[in-house]
A and B are shown apart, each in its own frame.
Chain A
Amino acid sequence: MDFPKTTIRAFQEKLFRGEQSVVAAVAAYLQRIAAAKNLNAFLTILDDRANARAHAIDAKIKRGAAGKLAGVIIAVKDILAMKGERLTCGSRILENFVSPYDATIIQKLEAADAIIIGKTNMDEFAMGSSTENSAFGPAKNPINPDYVPGGSSGGSAVAVAANLAMAALGSDTGGSIRQPAALCGVVGMKPTYGRVSRFGLVAFASSLDQVGPLAHSVEDVARILEVICGHDERDSTSAPVAVEEFSRFLDGEVKGKVVGLPKEYLAGGVQKEIHAAVTAAKARLQEAGAVIKEVSLPHTRYAIATYYIICTAEASANLARYDGARYGHRSRDAQSLEEMYVKSRSEGFGAEVKRRIMLGTYVLSSGYYDAYYRRAQKVRTLIRRDFEQAFKECDVLLTPTTPTTAFKLGEKTADPLEMYLADIFTVSINLAGVPAISIPFGVDAKGLPIGLQIIGKAFDEKNVLQTAHFLETAHP
């Protein structure tokens, strides 16, 4: 049994008319997942849990008591805690770890009657831009399996692009939702920092991490956002800001919206076809009555350096708990406490994770803190101000999501810096804490998807989604 790509709305209409059952949809998606094993999108398949819930939700639909995401088949990145399920974070060190609790957003999704079909592949602890840093092998781009799907939420992007799920959740610390969404040709959004609870999201860099949806359409992203956003008393950094019904504002209207084009994002180094896509999008917006404005984000050039100081510093502390003492991998041949730490962590972590722990330890060290960490925090403030300044005159900003379309597996693994530059257009957004979406906007000469990024003010997901929704329907 196959299942065509569908939007949440179309699928639910069929469900509510009785033309479709959740049980059948789950069966179809499980079949598709089994058939697409070569893409390595999933680390754990939750077939029993999905089947059991499917029956219950079908019954609820019959009673007219179904939730907002009734029957929607969702894949979640294996960095989100689900009670009683494996939680690997793409790492050997947690290969056999089973979470004793649920993340807040997992509770929210299940309370809205969504079906979580499985947990997706990712770069180890969300560190990477290609999913090649997964301890369980890379995921492959479904457009062309010789190419990477992007990362770190690569498995989630593949799951959506290959229609192995209707939507997926990823996490985005420096572009980890938007970049794979762009490379796989799906929509992916990082909400404002503080919009979505991080309770149960395994931390990479706490001040940058944010959970968000990937889906086939902007409207589907909006529908999932409506469910997962909102203040959580278990996350002190989650914001007590009211959540709008984002999907109701998607009217295709951009007339009068001021769209800024940050010149630093188009200043060369961008693949020709991507540059052309931005130009085309700008023309569509103008035709529809939007006002285009060139703006400057002058501290953009410091973003990568700033990002890698802050995220590695936080990661060095966040990953200290994987020490072999309480849970996770413990080396078998350790003779002392010191050896238990060194061997367990040496065996359990991959090269990129080790690199970042060492970098982060270094920038926080006595005598170096001021030169690196404290200075990076100051630059972060300047980057945030760049955005505040730009948003004084713009409703949203439009940029490419990535400088290039998907690259080949193995192409950048030898040079970490080269890999880091894949996120050059996305990291600033996390440093500033603002929301941004990536939407597919045509393909390049090789048929690989191009992604455009729309950035908004803090907590103004509405304008971002409206603009994205317009461009989604307007692309060439």
Chain B
Amino acid sequence: MKYEPVIGLEVHAQLLTESKIFCRCGTAFGAPQNSQVCPICLGMPGVLPVLNRQAVAFAIRMGLATNCRIAAHSIFARKNYFYPDLPKGYQISQYEEPLCENGWVEIEMEGGALKRIGLTRIHLEEDAGKSVHAEEYVAGNETLIDVNRCGTPLIEIVSEPDIRSPREAYLYLNRLRQLVRYLGICDGNMEEGSLRCDANISIRPIGEEKFGVKTELKNMNSFRNVEKAIEFEINRQTQLLEAGGRVVQQTMLWDANDGKVLPMRSKEEAHDYRYFPEPDLVPLRIDEKWREEIQASLPELPWARRHRFIEHYGLPKYDAEVLTEEQAVAEFFDATARLVKDAKLTSNWVMGEVLRVLKEQKIDITQFAIKPAAFAELLNLMAAGTISAKIAKEIFEAMLTGGKSAKTIVAEKGLVQVSDTGVIEKAVDAIIAAHPQEVARYRNGEEKVFGFLVGQLMKATQGKANPKVANEVLRSKLAN
């Protein structure tokens, strides 16, 4: 029998607010242990939470960008469980009446077809702290708690069971990551845990409507692991069914070292979280005005931008895809291309030279030394034939370190391209005179010698000769 997997993802994204969701402590990653804490996030007796409006605005941004219905009235709930890194003994989350519901995002399948993945809900909640078992800090079998992360705002994005393969799960997660980064609400770093993903997985015979028994898969802390772990779990379930066994509803942990999943707890051991409305917070009301303000503040989303790059700039789909992957890169391209007539030239240079430098220097494009206007100046010099591509690359390198404009460098170094036929003709005459043997070989049909002669010509003109003009003049003189 052939089976198909049915997958739903629960994705947690840490919001990039300056302070925590219910107190004023900072949220910076990597601060010394237990340095970003106060009586409120430590769950001291008598403290109360006060909701951070910025966190709400960020969650609404995500909801609007994923076509969700934004609730006008939303409530928080207590999710009760005991764990040492949860100081209150409950997590403030949302259960009934979440902030965002019924959304969707599209992923692009192999071959370019779009597939819509439904979003059940997006809700706001607080993060827990971290338990530290590392030996360098801990004596014997003790555990230490770092409460810094406690109260960092999270959104949980719950998908419908619309995903049908590990690849789709990967593409969906990638889409969410791109989106949260575009929206500026999360840095999307899975390794640091600011983006986390759990998967609900079941399989069923192809053609069957009913869902199979699902397992929940946790601890997949990289994009590659998500794909691998889901793949593993699908195979495990398939082998189980094919051998006449049954899938047991349970929570599984992905072990990245061994490359397999292991059971964590069964349904019988599952927590009863005893959710109930959080009495310390008043219901959250989102009026139309606020929602509209947030809507108006949304950036152009990646797929809309990609579409525009193709339509407006006439770029190939591949270029548009690469340029819109990161919002800041897209912004850089947009700002440059607006000032340059040749969009494809701009695209080639951004994808080629700029992205190469970013990778070499391990920097973000916002830290890139050349700003769009300066970059456009360089590209325009090239587009106008003032400098050759070869010279342009030299100037580009100089701009990276010198901070001077392209025009200044051209003027200082006398790098203006020579397109004057008279000047070039003189140089060509000199080259022909100096290399009688090569000229003879060319005239005997040895085409490759032409390249050598062009090289000599460029050398003689210090690369400033307009290659097109130089080619033409050389050909016509050699033909005589």
Chain A contacts to B: CB under 8 angstroms:
79-81, 87, 89, 94, 97, 99-101, 103, 198-203, 205-207, 233-237, 313-314, 316-317, 319-321, 323, 325-327, 337, 341, 361, 364-366, 369, 373
B189 close to chain A: CB less than 8 A: no
Interchain CA distance A233-B52 in the complex, whole Å: 12
Other-chain residue from A200, A236, A317 in contact with B78 (beta carbon distance below 8 A): A317
- B46 in contact with A326 (CB, 8 Å): no
- A80 in contact with B46 (CB, 8 Å): yes
B301 close to chain A: CB less than 8 A: no
> Per-residue CB proximity of B144-182 to A under 8 Å, as 1/0?
010000000000000000000000000000000000000
Interchain CA distance A94-B46 in the complex, whole Å: 13
- B89 in contact with A321 (CB, 8 Å): yes
Interchain CA distance A245-B275 in the complex, whole Å: 41
- B276 in contact with A327 (CB, 8 Å): no
What residues on B are CB-neighbors of A199 within 8 Å? 46-48
- A321 in contact with B280 (CB, 8 Å): no
- A366 in contact with B272 (CB, 8 Å): yes
- A317 in contact with B51 (CB, 8 Å): no
- B46 in contact with A81 (CB, 8 Å): yes
Q: Tell me the B31-76 residues at the A interface (CB within 8 Å).
A: 39, 42-51
Cβ-closest chain B residue relative to A313: B276
- A202 in contact with B80 (CB, 8 Å): no
Whole-angstrom distance from the CB of A286 to the nearest CB of chain B?
41
Interchain CA distance A235-B89 in the complex, whole Å: 20
B368 close to chain A: CB less than 8 A: no
Cβ-closest chain A residue relative to B22: A236
- A320 in contact with B49 (CB, 8 Å): no
- B274 in contact with A366 (CB, 8 Å): yes
- Extra contacts, 19 of them, besides A236-B280, A320-B82 (Cβ < 8 A), are A79-B46, A87-B45, A87-B46, A94-B45, A99-B44, A199-B46, A202-B46, A234-B50, A235-B50, A236-B49, A316-B80, A316-B274, A320-B90, A321-B88, A323-B84, A323-B89, A364-B275, A364-B276, A365-B274
- B87 in contact with A326 (CB, 8 Å): yes
Interchain CA distance A235-B40 in the complex, whole Å: 12
- A206 in contact with B46 (CB, 8 Å): no
> Per-residue CB proximity of B352-364 to A under 8 Å, as 1/0?
0000000000000
Interchain CA distance A89-B45 in the complex, whole Å: 10
Give the 5 A-B residue pairs with the shortest CB-CB distance, closest first. Answer: A320-B89, A364-B274, A206-B279, A207-B279, A202-B45
Whole-angstrom distance from the CB of A320 to the nearest CB of chain B?
2
Other-chain residue from A236, A317, A325, A365 in contact with B90 (beta carbon distance below 8 A): A317
> Per-residue CB proximity of B282-325 to A under 8 Å, as 1/0?
10000000000000000000000000000000000000000000
- A321 in contact with B87 (CB, 8 Å): yes
Whole-angstrom distance from the CB of A404 to the nearest CB of chain B?
31
- A236 in contact with B281 (CB, 8 Å): yes
Whole-angstrom distance from the CB of B272 to the nearest CB of chain A?
5
Interchain CA distance A369-B50 in the complex, whole Å: 27
Interchain CA distance A357-B473 in the complex, whole Å: 95
Known: A236-B51, A236-B280, A314-B279. A325 touches B46 (CB 8 A): no
- A337 in contact with B281 (CB, 8 Å): no
What residues on B are CB-neighbors of A373 within 8 Å? 276
Chain B contacts to A: CB under 8 angstroms:
39, 42-51, 78, 80, 82, 84, 87-90, 145, 272, 274-276, 279-282
What residues on A are CB-neighbors of B48 within 8 Å? 198-199, 234-237
Main secondary structure of the interface of B (DSSP, over half): loop
Cβ-closest chain B residue relative to A319: B89
Interchain CA distance A294-B45 in the complex, whole Å: 43
- A101 in contact with B280 (CB, 8 Å): no
- A361 in contact with B274 (CB, 8 Å): yes
Whole-angstrom distance from the CB of B237 to the nearest CB of chain A?
26
Interchain CA distance A202-B51 in the complex, whole Å: 19
- A236 in contact with B89 (CB, 8 Å): no
- B45 in contact with A99 (CB, 8 Å): yes
What residues on A are CB-neighbors of B51 within 8 Å? 236
- 6 A-B pairs with CB atoms under 8 Å apart are A87-B46, A100-B44, A236-B49, A316-B274, A325-B87, A364-B274
Interchain CA distance A205-B279 in the complex, whole Å: 9
Cβ-closest chain B residue relative to A207: B279
What residues on A are CB-neighbors of B78 within 8 Å? 317
- B50 in contact with A233 (CB, 8 Å): yes
- B82 in contact with A341 (CB, 8 Å): yes
- B45 in contact with A81 (CB, 8 Å): yes
- B89 in contact with A317 (CB, 8 Å): yes
What residues on B are CB-neighbors of A369 within 8 Å? 274, 276
- A236 in contact with B282 (CB, 8 Å): yes
- B50 in contact with A236 (CB, 8 Å): yes
